[in-house]
Structure 1
Amino acid sequence: MAERERLVHIVDDVPELEGTSTLTMVLALDGFLDAGNAAERAVQHLVDMSEGPVVATFDVDQLHDYRARRPPMSFVRDHYEAYDAPRLVVRLLRDAGGTPYLLLHGPEPDNRWEAFCRAVREVVERLGVTRVVGIGSVPMAVPHTRPIALTPHANDPSLLTAESPWRGELRIPSSVQALLEIRLGEWGHAAMGFVAHVPHYLAQLDYPLASAALLEQVEIAGRLTIDLSGLHAEAADKEAEIAAYLEANQEVAEVVAALERQYDAFERAEESGTSLLAADQPLPTGEEIGAQFEQFLAGLDGPDGLEGRDGPDDADDAAGQERD
């Protein structure tokens, strides 16, 4: 492949994959579909569970807009050092039962999307990938006190593991993960994925419950076994922190209660086959929700806010990623 310079470099000899009849590649690109840092935390969990070699490396210099997303570096007294260069790689990992699988992760390409898709196709065909499973998350007007909802999607209906909650057509901003699913289908390769619905008032915080929900679906779709006990423990701690905050902030708790009523009304309507909208359970206006949760997020930076945040810049960084 001679597009400018070679876009992906693949390891020629991967003995761990010899004789493998099925091979899943998990896909998670940060910068867009990652409310609550759900996909990023899921990726970190997979890497922590099984450190493995890099078997393919993409030339990020051809894909990354450095001025839009400037990589961090350190300035130490009188000199620069420790430049954290962005990396877009495919790792070979093993699940809890020793089954090998691949993980493609790193920053979503800012440009050359079609060329990137062709490069991923080369990885899929050279390494013998039989199924690609993407993960992501979006902010939604849902309460954190109800089960995490997910939107499944696939380029072949037979791959779907659950029914989509959506009806009809939605026009949405595109992502390279979505484009890749389309292109892989055109090239005869199976690709699917899951998008977790994260409460919008928690979208700027780490939300490990959504990470665990995504990896549970990866287990099913990829026929893998993943130890999620650590993520579930993190999620329990976070839920306790949120509950304590809401107990001390009644106005915010009332907005969450309104979201609960709306959620339950939708559920009842779906079960009965009637309208999805319940006239007696109005959703709070955007202005009401925004005003209450501006106070909510502001409170997290204070001494009485939620624990577990590294600092006030985290929310700004996450917001920047959402905008990207």
Structure 2
Amino acid sequence: MRDPNLIYEVDEDVAAELQQSSEEQAGVGPVLLHVVSGFVDAGGAGQVATDHLRETFGSRRLATFDVDQLIDYRSRRPMMVFDSTTWSSYAEPELVLDVVSDAAGRSFLLLHGIEPDVQWERYAAAVRQLVERFDVPLTIGINGIPMGIPHTRPLSFTAHATRAELVADHVSWLGTVQVPASAASLVELRLGQSGHDAMGFAIHVPHYLAQSSYPQASITALQAVERATGLELDVKALERPAADALAEIERQVEGSSEVGAVVRALEQQYDAFTDGRARSNLLSDTSEIPTADEIGAEFERFLAQQGGDDSAR
């Protein structure tokens, strides 16, 4: 493997400020929160959370990855704007590490941007270098995954970690399963193998909202991060957009008997499960529940009306 240090560049001035901040906080290094796009993120759970953190608290760029070495442009081409006779803009992909301060002034790190297409091991090793350089005590990843649950019930999540003690207080929703890998999952695995604490929260998002922006999923994710770290992330700022999204969902459900039937069926399954009368986990056979395909044209209209970029998440 080629030197991981050669795929990113650190702003030494920001690094010095971070080091001073860590010394002022009893020598405790910053937590690292990582949310990279490209893998499953149902409801935009991770992306909405990232946007909230950056917009609410601001950030300083600590490290920048060389995406030319990590991205396959032909597999997911960046967008450009052609204006009449000229190319006017280019949505340059980025993968960066920022320093953010929470509501109490405590610094934490936010790794965000596009998931690498290639050199995953080198990328994971680079993240490990940054974790070790800045004395990161805990690395946390968040994302959303589609599940057969209704929006009318409290959201749950799957917690995972490099040590069982880190998730001892969380209910295990899954047994042993084989799933496609992601760069974020590999980072967590490799950090654990090298003796560093890492964990993640996969928020369970109603499958019929997977392609829409669902701020409630981001609230659940950030609340889990707050409990795990003690950070104050101003989650209440997301309550209004979450309420607006819920109102629109309810309006759409009331206007469609097909969608309403699916929601009611999911409610029955969810309630039976939580009462201890259902099968062992929510990923088991769902043959008695209408699928997204069975919702038909009405369901497609429901997703389309979520609008804009959200429908393409």
Regarding TM over 0.5, the answer is yes
Match of 2:159 in 1: 152
- CA deviation map 1:234-293 (0-9, x unaligned): 1111111111111121221011100100111111116xxx85489xxx945576442216
Match of 1:71 in 2: 78
Moved more, 76-85 or 283-292: 283-292
Counterparts of 2:139 and 2:4, CA distance in 1: 27
Match of 1:17 in 2: 19
Counterparts of 1:181 and 1:159, CA distance in 2: 13
TM superposition shift of 1:69: 1.1
TM superposition shift of 1:162: 3.0
Q: Return closer, same or farther for 1:223/1:294 CA change in 2, 3 Å cut-off.
A: farther
Q: CA RMSD in A?
A: 2.2
Moved more, 288-297 or 17-26: 288-297
TM superposition shift of 1:126: 1.4
Q: Return closer, same or farther for 1:261/1:286 CA change in 2, 3 Å cut-off.
A: closer
Moved more, 282-291 or 54-63: 282-291
Match of 1:296 in 2: 299
SS of 2:122's equivalent in the other structure is helix
Counterparts of 1:108 and 1:63, CA distance in 2: 8
Counterparts of 2:107 and 2:38, CA distance in 1: 27
Q: Return closer, same or farther for 1:288/1:135 CA change in 2, 3 Å cut-off.
A: closer
SS of 1:9's equivalent in the other structure is strand
TM superposition shift of 1:36: 0.9
Counterparts of 1:4 and 1:218, CA distance in 2: 28
Task: Map 1:9-88 onto structure 2 (within 5 A).
Answer: 9-12=9-12, 13-18=15-20, 19=23, 20-88=27-95
Letter in 2 for 1:17: Q
| 8 A Cα contact 2:262 2:289, kept in partner | no
Q: Return closer, same or farther for 1:287/1:158 CA change in 2, 3 Å cut-off.
A: closer
Q: Number of residue pairs matched?
A: 304
Counterparts of 1:314 and 1:277, CA distance in 2: 29
Percent identity (aligned): 39
Task: Map 1:245-324 onto structure 2 (within 5 A).
Answer: 245-269=252-276, 275-276=279-280, 283=286, 285=288, 288-292=291-295, 294-301=297-304, 305=305, 309-310=307-308, 314-315=310-311, 317-318=312-313
TM-score computed with the length of structure 2 as normaliser: 0.90
| 8 A Cα contact 1:255 1:284, kept in partner | no
Q: Return closer, same or farther for 1:299/1:154 CA change in 2, 3 Å cut-off.
A: closer
Counterparts of 1:49 and 1:256, CA distance in 2: 34
- CA deviation map 1:270-317 (0-9, x unaligned): 6xxx85489xxx94557644221652232454xxx45xx23xx653x3
Letter in 1 for 2:78: P
| 8 A Cα contact 2:211 2:303, kept in partner | no
TM superposition shift of 1:226: 1.0
Unaligned runs of 5+ in 2: none
Moved over 6 A (4+): none
Letter in 1 for 2:39: F
TM superposition shift of 1:128: 1.8
Letter in 2 for 1:118: A
Q: Return closer, same or farther for 1:30/1:167 CA change in 2, 3 Å cut-off.
A: closer
Q: Return closer, same or farther for 1:240/1:122 CA change in 2, 3 Å cut-off.
A: same
TM superposition shift of 1:2: 5.4
Unaligned runs of 5+ in 1: 319-324
TM-score computed with the length of structure 1 as normaliser: 0.87
TM superposition shift of 1:39: 0.5
Moved more, 87-96 or 69-78: 69-78
